C-alpha cells in the first residue's frame, strides 16, 4: 500500500486558480476531503500594517504537486482564454449595429419602459 500524507500533514502544492490574473501560488496545504481532491491553505495579507490569514480552498484541477503539472495546466487555461477572446472578437466584428429610434413623444413610465425593453432585448 502506498504511503500518503495524513490529512493534516502540510505539503507543498502549486495552486493555479488565479494563474491568469496573479500567477501560480506556491503554498503549504493539507487535504480537506477524504478523496484527497480538495486542499486547504492560508494566504497571508498585510493591509496597513495588519497581518492576518484567510483559509482558502482549491479543488481537483486547481492545484498540483509539481510545478511542471501546474505550468501545463496554466498553458491549457491560457489557450482556452485566448480562444474565447478570439471568438468574442470575431462576433463583435460580424455584429451589425442597429439604429434604435426612441420617439420624442414617449413620456412617462410606459414610454421609458418600452425604450428600455427595446434597448435590452436580443
Q: How many helices (H) and strands (E) does the chain have?
A: 2, 5
Percent of the chain predicted with pLDDT > 70? 68
Distance CA(111)–CA(103), nearest Å, equals 9
Query: Any long-range contacts for 24-31 (C-beta under 8 Å, 24+ apart)?
Result: 24/67, 24/70, 24/71, 24/74, 26/67, 29/58, 29/63, 30/5, 31/5, 31/7
* Mean pLDDT score, 70-98: 95
Backbone angle region of 21, left / alpha / beta, with phi > 0 → left and psi within -120 to 50 → alpha = alpha
Q: Write down the mean pLDDT value for the chain.
A: 82
pLDDT confidence of 1, banded at 50, 70, 90?
very low
Q: Is the pTM of this model over 0.75?
A: no
Sequence spans of domains, the chain? 1-122
Amino acid at each position: 500500500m502506498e504511503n500518503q500524507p495524513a490529512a493534516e500533514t502540510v505539503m507543498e502544492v502549486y495552486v493555479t486558480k488565479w494563474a491568469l490574473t496573479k500567477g501560480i501560488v506556491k503554498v503549504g496545504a493539507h487535504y480537506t476531503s477524504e478523496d484527497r481532491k480538495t486542499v486547504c491553505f492560508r494566504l497571508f495579507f498585510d493591509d496597513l500594517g495588519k497581518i492576518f490569514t484567510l483559509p482558502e480552498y482549491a479543488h481537483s484541477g486547481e492545484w498540483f504537486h509539481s510545478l511542471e503539472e501546474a505550468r501545463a495546466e496554466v498553458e491549457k487555461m491560457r489557450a482556452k482564454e485566448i480562444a474565447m477572446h478570439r471568438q468574442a472578437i470575431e462576433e463583435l466584428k460580424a455584429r451589425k449595429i442597429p439604429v434604435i429610434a426612441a420617439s420624442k413623444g414617449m413620456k412617462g413610465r410606459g414610454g421609458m419602459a418600452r425604450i428600455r425593453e427595446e434597448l435590452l432585448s436580443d
